[in-house]
Amino acid sequence: MSGASQVDCDVAIVGAGPTGLFATYYAGFRGLRVALIDSLPELGGQITAMYPEKAILDVAGFPSVKGRDLVDGLVEQALTAKPEQLLGRTASELATDDDGLTLTLDDGTAVRAKALIVTAGIGKFSPRPLPAAEGWVGRGVEFFVPGFEPYRDLDVVIVGGGDSAFDWAHHLEPIARSVTLVHRRDAFRAHARTVEQVRASSAAIVTKAEVSALRDADGGTAGPLAEVELTVDGVVETRPAQAVVAALGFVADLGPLQQWGLETHRRHLVVDPSMRTNLPRVFAAGDITEYPGKVRLIAVGFGEAATAVNNAAVVVDPSAHVFPGHSSEG
């Protein structure tokens, strides 16, 4: 029914990342009809868009699993619910009434549901720019590393001090000719274990530094990227680089959700222990939620998804029970 003017379902789920995919599966397990909505054109959310090759170490049952492989399993599981997939569309308006709610998408589609679960993660996101890289994006400068092979035998400069920067430095070091990680401070936000792995490798870590210019082989900007100029503690130096990864984080935007009347705290949705928001029939789960003691992990999002679906099931059908029994029971 892609492109249909109206979609009817029991539960609408906004956000097709790991939490949204598990919520979709669990809603199917509860016998609910699901519409799954995401502004990205494919399932998987932030992991698919930004970290498909990243090794994820904190999902129960997987000592280590690539983001891509985790998403593949979640998608396979979610599709058992036969959800209506409304991808590449943004939920723009929400109206509630005594019988349910109507979610209007930016293409005009109206989704009529009895309950809504918001699993939108950090919302829509855009990367923070690298000022010196203006004009070079797509010409040697990228913000994410969806695959490692294109960097084989290249000199790679990674800018940033967070988990993404160090993860990519760790994974690219065996493949690239050289890896240089540039950060403006001596302290890093990345996980200490990954920092130590990069320190122990052949990758160079340059601190108190910033990228001040990018140049081609002739010292201009018309040709392919050949070198970067770094300003290190006030001293200018040049390093070879055919690729620069600007891992400077991203700006999150809840977009139209902020106009729905949802209670928020620091751009997160406030929920109670049943994952209810302040609006009737509207629940939330995953990184977008806020409550005392909140921990933002994929594993936590899975539990919140089940909690949200089980409580939403009672809203859909008041005769239902919050706890349906274990899925392993015959």
Task: Tell which residue, 263, 261, 258, 320, has the closest CA to residue 10.
Answer: 320
Q: How many CB atoms lie within 10 A of CB 108?
A: 12
Name the band, by pLDDT with cuts 50, 70 and 90, for residue 2: very low
- Segment of 75-89, 113-127, 241-255 carrying the highest mean pLDDT: 75-89
Q: Is the pLDDT assigned to residue 278 strictly greater than 90?
A: yes
| Cα–Cα dist 175/195, whole Å | 18
Task: Transcribe 240-276 into DSSP letters.
Answer: E-SEEEE---EEEE-GGGGGTT--EETTEEE--TT-B
User: And the tokens for 205?
Assistant: 């870590």
250-280 b/e with 16+ CB inside 10 Å = b? bebebebbeebebebeeebbebeeebbbebe
Helices (H) then strands (E): counts for the chain? 6, 24
Q: Structural domains in the chain?
A: 6-125+250-316 (3.50.50.60), 129-246 (3.50.50.60)
SS3 10: coil
Burial, 233: exposed, middle or buried (Cβ in 10 Å; 0-12, 13-18, 19+)? exposed
Q: Is the pLDDT assigned to residue 1 strictly greater than 50?
A: no
Q: Which amino acid is at 15?
A: G
80 labeled binding residue = no
| Cα–Cα dist 67/51, whole Å | 6
SS3 328: coil
197 labeled binding residue = no
Q: Is the pLDDT assigned to residue 124 strictly greater than 70?
A: no
Task: Tell which residue, 162, 316, 141, has the closest CA to residue 250.
Answer: 162
Evaluated on CA atoms 52, 54, 55, 58, the torsion sign reads: negative
User: And the tokens for 248?
Assistant: 């400077």
pLDDT at residue 48, rounded to an integer: 72
SS3 18: helix
Task: Tell which residue, 313, 310, 282, has the closest CA to residue 14.
Answer: 282
SS3 87: strand
User: And the tokens for 157?
Assistant: 């400069």
| Bridge partners, 264 (sequence order) | 269
| Cα–Cα dist 172/178, whole Å | 9
> What global pTM score does this model have?
0.74
- From residue 185, alpha-carbon distances to 62, 208, 209 in Å are 34, 5, 7
The mean pLDDT value for 252-272 works out to 88
26 labeled binding residue = no
| Cα–Cα dist 92/257, whole Å | 7
Average pLDDT of the chain to the nearest whole number: 92
How does pLDDT run across 197-244, given as a tens digit for each residue? 999 999 999 999 999 999 999 999 999 999 999 999 999 999 999 999
| Cα–Cα dist 37/260, whole Å | 17
pLDDT at residue 204, rounded to an integer: 97
6 labeled binding residue = no
The four Cα atoms 184, 186, 189, 195 give a dihedral, to 10 degrees, of 120
Long-range contacts of 104-108 (CB under 8 A, 24+ apart): 105/37, 107/3, 108/5
SS3 29: helix
How does pLDDT run across 11-21, given as a tens digit for each residue? 999 999 999 99
How does pLDDT run across 160-200, given as a tens digit for each residue? 999 889 989 999 999 999 999 999 999 999 889 899 999 99
